[in-house]
Amino acid sequence: MADADLLIEELSTYLKPKDVERVRVAIEFSRAAHQGQMRQSGDPYVSHPIAVARVLTPLHIDAQAIIAALLHDVVEDTDVTSEQVAEKFGKPVAELVDGLSKLDRIQFETREDAQAENFRKMLLAMARDVRVILIKLADRLHNMRTLESMALDKRERIARETMEIYAPIANRLGLNDFRHELQDLSFKHLHPNRYSVLSKALKVARGNRREVVSKILDAIRQKLADANIQADVTGREKDIYSIYQKMQSKSLAFAEVLDIYGFRVLVNDFASCYVALGLLHGLYKPIPGKFKDYIAIPKMNGYQSLHTTLFGPFGTPIEIQIRTHEMHKIAEAGVASHWLYKSGHDSINDLHKKTHQWLHELLESLSQSADSSEFLEHLKVDLFPDEVYVFTPKGRILSLPRGATAVDFAYSVHTDIGNRCIAVKVNHELVPLRTELRNGDRVEVITAPNAKPNPAWLSYVTTSRARSNIRHFLKTMQSGEAAKLGERMLNQALNALGIKPQDMDEAHWNRLLKDTGVRTREEIFADVGLGRRLNMVVARQLARIGDATTGEVTSNAVITIQGTEGMAVQFAQCCRPIPGDPIIGVIKSGQGLVVHTHDCPTLRKGRSGAEQWLDVVWDKDINRPFDVSIKLLVANRRGVLAKVAAAIAEAEANIENINFTHEGDYSGLHFTLEVNNRLHLANVIRNLRKVAEVERIIRVKNSAG
């Protein structure tokens, strides 16, 4: 078989004869296992694993990984078991094959659930052994090369998944050749017409610009040679997808994309990179703002190079990369450089440490994802390729995705720093927490011992680490607060049934937990507090178990609102109740108890379901401020706002927000104030009535909410 012979020939250049022989055995084993199976293209199935193994040979990957590539589908698609693979080729090969096997034998509700679990398993296997992802990427690359034989909808689904997940993983691991080909093939199947047009235009341009490229190459080589800089200079054509991206991002036609060629300069040592840069800036003028030093600050995937863009002959922009031969090895092979170059070089070792650290941090954040859509969202965000580099106060460099905020930075330093963050300084100036960070920013996080994450942060953080930690903290906090509220609500319901809560002993609770399939009574309390279970229903279940109900429901038990329940109790924005107002509570599933005023207009419209409503009263000793809305109609005179603000301040109330409306000769002042209770509000209103310009004062109870 020609492909098998080519594989053996390629492996013989770097593997020991005994390892090559083991690969021969694996080829025959794979051929026998897949006997009679055909690909969609009509080729024998065994041609696929052999092709996958050949994709890996330029990386000089070891015999175990090559054998795993040859057997990567045998456990999934044939009668061969993992135990048989382990017995024949050893446990490490069997573990690699297992990490590559899909979870088709498990039934999932949706394709998204199955996809999420496949990626989760792949990442776990990858954290143990990075060879798993190298084989998986080779597998995906060969599948993309032969995708034409698939149905159109399947082609599009696989291409989109490749573009969103696999190409970014290849980029994150520094496998540039893999990434570019995966992106081009995905683009070809997602946008076939655009790909075809650009491909033809590129062929035409290639012929037209050959003379210009040759002239630039000669000029660069001559300039470096005159300065006694030994360098390999090559020109390269940009791949179609990167040209398309440039056209999209800058709204250009193809004819306007002048820099379809890039040039690479490889020198012998670190210092020569910067000398070569200076020489080329003397040869052609640099374009301001187009220089990047990835040598001083390498990318997260270990990539190092100097990037500059110059004004070439005929006004053509020239993109140039300058790096050493050692840097080039890592730039081309990324994490696989460990197998390709057994030099023990510090850069390669450092790259492996960074890769494993990234994997473990990614898995830590993904492990907190509650469902498949959240998991895939975190995964895609974490693989986002663009990066910004910022500094801690001690000069440590942190890499974050483009668009990352100060909160993302805080969580990247440490989870506790993020959870206790209250403010941030960027370049020694206080800025809002939602501020997007830029390259070179110096960021200092200010924390407080009792601070906690704000749910609003979820609307602007970008990293999966920050998002998952915020969600985890809020869920844990809400669950704890809801459990305390739920216990009080359940006790109220038991009292209403004429049962003393303390009479429900361990035996009663154990029976209820067994009947409901819940592990602990705290979970029952949390479900009641969050509205997932009705307190009266749970109370009746307990009563039946204890056979203790009188059969009469009393109505004198109420829930006391203390104002310290946190996220488990919400005060409705439509009516903004404050202590002293007659109130009523409604349980909303997943949200907990929402407190309204008795006369809330929104409440009257939607009131239904008697068992979802609770009698609630204010605790006598509440000591915290509450928001209240008032509207003032005032005469349009100079200084009136200052007088109104002074009257509010004199009553020791705080102004949270203010809006203006014009109503003829009068103005409407809409305030959101912080007051302690209804008596405090009355004092505020009394002070405002003393202001001569104030014509009318209304407490607003029908705002949207």
Establish whether domains 198-340 and 626-699 are of one fold.
no
Sign of the torsion formed by the C-alpha atoms of 479, 574, 635 and 648? negative
- Residue 411, number of CB atoms within 10 A of its CB: 28
Distance CA 537, CA 388 (A): 54
Contact 701, 601 (CB under 8 A): yes
- The percent helix, strand, coil of the chain (3-state, each to 5) is 55, 15, 30
C-alpha distances out from residue 334 to 35, 353, 466, 474, 569, Å: 36, 13, 27, 38, 52
Domain ranges of the chain: 2-190, 198-340, 354-470, 472-618, 626-699
C-alpha distances out from residue 231 to 269, 372, 542, 699, Å: 10, 50, 83, 78
- The answer for residues whose C-beta is within 8 angstroms of residue 547's C-beta and 6 or more apart is none
Domain 626-699 sits in CATH 3.30.70.260? yes
User: What confidence score (pLDDT) does residue 108 get?
Assistant: 45
Q: What is the DSSP letter of 368?
A: T
SS3 267: strand
- Residue 587, number of CB atoms within 10 A of its CB: 24
Q: Which of 342, 359, 320 is nearest to 172 (CA)?
A: 359
Structure tokens at 326: 């050692």
Contact 667, 661 (CB under 8 A): yes
Three-state DSSP string of 554-600: CCCCCEEECCCCHHHEEECCCCCCCCCCCEEEEEECCCEEEEEECCC
Catalytic residue numbers, as ranges? 76-77
Contact 409, 446 (CB under 8 A): no
Distance CA 580, CA 601 (A): 18
pLDDT along the chain (705 residues), means of 10: 82 90 92 86 87 90 91 85 89 85 49 64 67 88 90 89 84 83 93 89 74 85 92 85 82 70 89 93 88 84 86 80 88 65 54 60 55 56 64 84 89 90 90 88 89 83 83 75 78 78 80 79 79 73 63 54 71 87 79 80 61 76 87 89 92 88 84 92 93 91 57
421-426 and 443-447 as β-strands: parallel, antiparallel, unpaired? Answer: antiparallel
User: What confidence score (pLDDT) does residue 544 get?
Assistant: 72
Distance CA 671, CA 662 (A): 15
- The answer for residues whose C-beta is within 8 angstroms of residue 604's C-beta and 6 or more apart is none
- Residue 611, number of CB atoms within 10 A of its CB: 11
CATH number of 2-190: 1.10.3210.10
Structure tokens at 267: 């020198």
Exposed/middle/buried for 83, CB within 10 Å: 0-12, 13-18, 19+?
A: exposed
User: What confidence score (pLDDT) does residue 489 get?
Assistant: 79
The four Cα atoms 599, 605, 611, 615 give a dihedral, to 10 degrees, of: -10
Contact 382, 464 (CB under 8 A): yes
- Radius of gyration for the chain, computed over Cα atoms and rounded to the nearest angstrom: 34
Structure tokens at 414: 């440490």
Here the contacts of 149-156 (C-beta below 8 Å, separation 24 or greater) are: 149/39, 149/40, 149/41, 149/42, 150/40, 155/189, 156/189, 156/190
Q: Which of 380, 378, 374, 440 is nearest to 411 (CA)?
A: 378
Cα atoms found within 13 Å of the Cα of residue 406, Cβ hemisphere only: 22
User: What confidence score (pLDDT) does residue 554 get?
Assistant: 44
Vertex 458 angle, CA 452 and 461, to 5°: 100
Contact 687, 680 (CB under 8 A): no
Distance CA 46, CA 29 (A): 10
Exposed/middle/buried for 238, CB within 10 Å: 0-12, 13-18, 19+?
A: middle
Distance CA 231, CA 253 (A): 35
Element housing 525 (H / E): helix 521-529
Sign of the torsion formed by the C-alpha atoms of 339, 299, 376 and 178? negative
User: What confidence score (pLDDT) does residue 233 get?
Assistant: 92
User: What confidence score (pLDDT) does residue 106 get?
Assistant: 43
Three-state DSSP string of 23-84: HHHHHHHHHHHCCCCECCCCCECCHHHHHHHHHHHHHCCCHHHHHHHHCCCHHHHCCCCHHH
Residues found in the chain: 705
pTM for the whole thing? Answer: 0.58
Distance CA 558, CA 465 (A): 42
Here the contacts of 117-123 (C-beta below 8 Å, separation 24 or greater) are: 117/372, 119/165, 119/375, 119/376, 119/379, 120/366, 120/375, 123/359, 123/362, 123/363, 123/366, 123/379
Contact 65, 100 (CB under 8 A): no
The residue behind tokens 């301040």 is: 649
Give 198-340's CATH code, choosing from 3.20.20.70, 3.30.460.10, 1.20.1090.10, 3.50.50.60. Answer: 3.30.460.10
Q: What is the DSSP letter of 166?
A: I
The residue behind tokens 């693989």 is: 383
User: What confidence score (pLDDT) does residue 549 get?
Assistant: 46
Distance CA 498, CA 500 (A): 7
Q: What is the DSSP letter of 334?
A: G
User: What confidence score (pLDDT) does residue 555 get?
Assistant: 44
Q: Which residues pair with 629 in a beta bridge?
A: 672
User: What confidence score (pLDDT) does residue 167 get?
Assistant: 87
Give 354-470's CATH code, choosing from 3.20.20.120, 3.10.20.30, 3.30.70.1560, 3.40.50.300. Answer: 3.10.20.30
